[in-house]
């Protein structure tokens, strides 16, 4: 009887949990740098995927990637602009992306904590899906050649997955929870969801959260190619290579970048007069226990994950107006997720995948797509799924193609959406997001 009482108390406590809102976000992607830049280009139907160049890639079957454009223009990434001093030693490219996105997010949020209390109540939760493979390969090569003294003293810190979280914390003096998530392609969504729970449980009032990835390298591309996970038939037409849900889909396209959000406890945001960009209503997790790389054909893990997010947010199925799907452009994965969406939300559900334009950012995918979903909730526009000419999932869903689609507020007067992320190892996450209505 005591056990039942405890369970009931835990369930009821979700009704009084601290509400978490979004007050800032930042993006670094192959479509450009900056949320408004990326958002506008998505609505225009532009694609950031290009053919890779270099002799080191010649033997690899997949020749298409998503690289962040570098330069000095405002919509380009400049490492010098992010890290102007010699104190940048030990900062990987993924961490540099995270620092750029975090700066945009914190600036938009107008949150640069100065007092000891503000810094101690602001935390970081940023992860990556993969370590810096090229640094490991280069270090191993130096040792094989007997060149121990050429090994960088920063080598170990560079390959730690919490490199980004640590450097963002240092850059802004954030002394709250300093956490790192690494759950393959689910990393970004898990980071945002975990950060919400830190706020919900009172560990922090503000969290800087998301994912960063910079794995577009010969070694990583070769490894995924050997798995036969990547697209290989569109090397001469790179903008057509990533085609979620389409009959010609054959694998994903590797991409890089970062997506960072500033999450804040509602009353904290209101008291300081912050502009609220959206709300995180719920967070769901599940495991497939099916195969190390392949999802269950029925999409059972995905369905349970979405159910958990709705339950956590107290949201009914009828309130959800749109799903930003994980949909990486793999035959089995896209079909399984589509089945899960149809089983839970019903035929005709509006679905999109922005991976046709952005490729698959792996550890950063979930947070990047959460930001895009927040913009969709905020503006009432759903970006199109590129290269979706002939849906081939066996499901009767309303896939958004060709041009942006307008969608209306639900029964409770605001737009509510789900965004999904699934990763190798059978790990799943869903975030239930909504526009802010005061």
Catalytic residues, by residue number, are 185, 326, 360
Residue in 199, 204, 198, 197 with CA at minimum distance from that of residue 175: 204
With b meaning 16 or more CB within 10 Å and e meaning fewer, what string describes 292-329?
A: eeebbeebbbbbbbbbbbbebbebeeebbbbbbbbbbb
Residue identified by tokens 């797509």 is 369
Report the distance separating Cα 375 and Cα 103, nearest Å.
19
Instruction: Give CA–CA dist 432/324, Å, rounded.
Output: 10
Tell me the two tokens of residue 122.
Answer: 């602001």
Distance CA 105, CA 160 (A): 24
Number of Cβ within 10 Å of residue 5's Cβ equals 9
Contact 310, 283 (CB under 8 A): no
Helix (H), strand (E) counts: the chain: 15, 16
Backbone φ and ψ of 336, nearest 5°: -65, -45
CA distances from 110 to 254, 259, 370 (A): 33, 18, 20
Residue matched to tokens 């970062």: 258
Q: Please give the C-alpha separations between residue 195 and each of 23, 96, 226, 431, in angstroms, as whole numbers.
A: 14, 21, 35, 12
Is residue 67 a contact partner of residue 216, using CB atoms and an 8 Å limit?
A: yes
Q: Of 200, 164, 25, 158, nearest to 82 (Cα)?
A: 164
Cα 220 to Cα 237: distance, rounded to the nearest angstrom: 21
In angstroms, the CA 183 to CA 428 distance is 9
65 backbone dihedrals φ, ψ, rounded to 5°: -145, 170
Please, are residues 260 and 194 in contact by the beta-carbon 8 Å criterion? no
The tokens describing 288, both together, are 């497939």
Rounded Cα distance between 390 and 248, Å, is: 8
Residue 240, both tokens: 């057509």
Q: How far apart are CA 260 and CA 166, in angstroms?
A: 14
């Amino acid at each position: 009887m005591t056990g039942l009482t405890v369970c009931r108390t835990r369930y009821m406590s979700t009704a009084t949990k601290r509400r978490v809102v979004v007050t800032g976000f930042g993006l670094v992607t192959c479509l450009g740098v900056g949320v408004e830049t990326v958002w506008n280009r998505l609505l225009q139907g532009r694609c950031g995927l290009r053919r890779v160049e270099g002799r080191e890639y010649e033997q690899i079957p997949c020749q298409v990637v998503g690289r962040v454009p570098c330069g000095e223009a405002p919509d380009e990434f400049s490492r010098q602009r992010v890290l102007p001093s010699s104190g940048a030693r030990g900062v990987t490219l993924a961490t540099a992306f995270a620092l750029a996105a975090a700066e945009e997010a914190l600036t938009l949020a107008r949150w640069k904590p100065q007092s000891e209390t503000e810094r101690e109540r602001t935390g970081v939760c940023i992860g990556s899906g993969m370590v810096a493979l090229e640094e490991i390969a280069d270090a191993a090569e130096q040792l094989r050649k007997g060149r121990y003294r050429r090994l960088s003293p920063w080598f170990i810190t560079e390959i730690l997955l919490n490199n980004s979280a640590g450097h963002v914390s240092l850059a802004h003096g954030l002394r709250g929870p300093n956490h790192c998530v690494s759950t393959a392609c689910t990393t970004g969504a898990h980071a945002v969801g975990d950060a919400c729970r830190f706020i919900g449980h009172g560990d922090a009032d503000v969290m800087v959260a998301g994912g960063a990835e910079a794995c577009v390298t010969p070694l990583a591309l070769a490894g995924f190619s050997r798995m036969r996970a990547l697209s290989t038939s569109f090397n001469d037409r790179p903008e057509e290579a990533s085609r979620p849900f389409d009959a010609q889909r054959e694998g994903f396209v590797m991409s890089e970048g970062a997506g960072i959000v500033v999450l804040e406890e509602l009353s904290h945001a209101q008291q300081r007069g912050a502009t609220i960009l959206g709300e995180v209503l719920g967070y769901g997790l599940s495991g497939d226990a099916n195969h190390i790389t392949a999802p269950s054909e029925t999409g059972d893990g995905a369905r349970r994950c979405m159910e958990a997010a709705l339950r956590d947010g107290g949201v009914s199925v009828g309130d959800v107006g749109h799903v930003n799907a994980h949909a990486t452009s793999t035959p089995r994965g896209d079909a399984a997720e589509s089945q899960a969406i149809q089983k839970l939300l019903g035929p005709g559900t509006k679905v999109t995948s922005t991976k046709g334009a952005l490729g698959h950012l792996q550890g950063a995918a979930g947070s990047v797509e959460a930001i895009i979903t927040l913009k969709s909730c905020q503006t009432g526009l759903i970006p199109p799924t590129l290269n979706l000419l002939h849906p081939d999932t066996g499901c009767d869903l309303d896939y958004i193609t060709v041009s942006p689609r307008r969608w209306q507020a639900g029964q409770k007067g605001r737009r509510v959406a789900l965004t999904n992320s699934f990763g190798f190892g059978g790990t799943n996450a869903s975030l239930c997001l909504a526009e802010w209505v005061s």
